[in-house]
Chains A and B, each alone.
Chain A
Amino acid sequence: MAVLTTGKRVRWTVIDVIVVVYALVPVLWTLSLSFKSKATIGDGYFIPQEWSFQSYLDIFQTNDFLLALVNSIGISLIATAVAVVLGTMAAYAIARLDFPGKAALVGFSLLVAMFPQVSLVSPLFSIERSLNLFDTWPGLILPYITFALPLAIYTLSAFFREIPWELEKAAKMDGATPGQAFRRVIAPLAAPGVFTTAILVFIFCWNDFLFAISLTATTRSRTVPAALQFFTGASQFEDPTGQICAAAVVITIPIVLFVLFFQRRIVAGLTSGAVKG
């Protein structure tokens, strides 16, 4: 390790502080606003002068937010599960097998990832209207899978490439069918990659606003990011800033939990010891 001189240490500390402040101030501000009472919401203090949980109570009393939360959780989990399963199989094929059209498949999935989503909203809207998918769960799950798959395939194929191929050959020699070799040797080793991908895909689905606002109309399928836009106060003269902030904090919690829960499973160097390093 390099020796840190005092000057260097100070420089690094300053840079670190700037980065952390820059990243966290908006989050903390939202948190602070959510805990302010209606009367003090515009007072400009960073730390609430008067702590209040009223905003949180308000959002959980309205049916809209709870329904949106259920929609968000359900749609994101289903989309994540499907994208990860399909992505795992596709990434394994791309990393390991030689098949005709492999380059085309990789190129095509990259193309999907680069396509500006906003340009697809209107056609998707029309398609879903005529297919009766508009304002349904599948109506959101399907586009989410489409746009999450390239991400999943790219992340996962990088992980698969790192697993020594000889392990699979060894499994075959030990008497495993290709399926058994995948399930009992490759899949357990790819687990960290699968979890990483799952987190990324989940965050993508959870945070999406564009499709959520365009392809939903009612609480039947509206997710939280879209539902926030429809928040109103008790009367039309009331400003729902507090509730919006409280809702924003609430929907951040699952992401934080998701990452904390799976982070432990993302153990680097799980394959060490398989082959001579």
Chain B
Amino acid sequence: MTAAPEHSGPVGVAGNTAGTGDMIVARPAGFWRDIGSIAIRSIRQLPRDVEFIGPALLIPLFFLVVNVGSLQDIADFTSIEIDYKAFQLPVAIVFAVTGVTRAFALVLNIQEGYFDRLMLTPVSRRALLLGHMAADFVLVIALTIPVIALGFIIGVRFPTGPLGVLVFVLLAAFWGVAYTGIPYSIALKTGNPGAVNSSFLIFFPFAFLTTAYLPREAMTGWLGQIAQYNPVTYLLGGLRSLFVGWQWTELSKALLAILGLAIFSQMLAFRALAGRVRQK
């Protein structure tokens, strides 16, 4: 049985527990306010999740420093047309924004019973997911800032200027939010924090079977073939293009890769949500 919430009007009780006689009227808050309420709640919790956000920040910084330090000299023998530091910055950004979501908080809410409390309110069920994703958008943007700052410190520059930096951040953030559908679908489907924790592993083949270390022209055999079909390849291509100039073809391919991932992962997430909120 599917049961979309249907509201025909406010329901209230005259008075309150103190018996003042004033009217408090419960009513549907509305779709956008629901999203806002869930998002604000989720964003407020971010500083309390240092143990979760800390590693998500340290890993990309670590990759950036180590990859540049260990591979820069080798990269001089390849066809990379930009500085290897700039070539690696998008890789670090993709690590920073992929799989970093509030899905872990959501699955804890399912375990603790708070999700049931939310289900007992007239909140739009889609807002339960979209509110968390709005918080994810804020989170991934926040995570890109220190990584880009480190990039600047080690000498990376954007010839496309501040607008290029903005597009760089937004492309990364949209990718990050598009990917969240996968951990959310696992959280909603399983209600198991361990499964959500492992969901990052799904990203590993995408992260490494791509142009993370070498341009596609330098890749041969099966790796080159796989990289050709990997959406991360096109995302990296779009991000790296911003270190050359405004290359609209590369940016369009990156946007299409994000869109394709979003359609796939969000479909999974909303289907899992429908299963979770259905009166079974």
Indicate whether A and B interact: no
